[in-house]
Amino acid sequence: MEAKAIAKEVRISPRKARLVIDLVRDKEIGEAIGILKNTPKKAAGIIEKVLNSAVANAEHNHGMIADELRVSEAYVDEGPTMKRYKPRAMGQASPINKRTSHITIKVVEKEG
């Protein structure tokens, strides 16, 4: 049995979020939360919220025990990009892309 949580259109670049999500993939829940609490990145707080949501979904919807869970899948997909323009010299404008992410975390019970 697996439980998952998804955060859509999170205002963080997928490239930056992937640096942090790679740290928690295939880890036990306690270890993953410990890693995220000690990672000095903006994405760590966001991913920790999604992980806690996945654990709560597992407990509430499937009756799993939180201490017996591990992260089976964790990935970041690219969300919609907000396009902005910055005025530049001589009447020109440069594009600025404000990127968003879709963060997905799936947890399963440990075998054995």
CATH of the domain at 63: 3.90.470.10
Over residues 54-83, the pLDDT tens digits come to 999 999 999 999 999 999 999 999 999 999
- Count: domains in the chain: 1
Alpha helix (H) residue ranges in the chain: 14-24, 29-37, 42-62
Q: Please tell me the predicted confidence (pLDDT) of residue 111.
A: 82
* R_g of the chain computed on alpha carbons: 17
CB 99 within 8 A of CB 11: no
C-alpha to C-alpha distance for 109 and 66, rounded to whole angstroms? 9
Domain of residue 74, residue span: 2-109
Q: Please tell me the predicted confidence (pLDDT) of residue 1.
A: 87
Identity of the amino acid at 1? M
Q: Tokens representing 63?
A: 């009756």
Identity of the amino acid at 47? I
**pLDDT surpassing 70 at residue 17:** yes
Q: Please tell me the predicted confidence (pLDDT) of residue 97.
A: 97
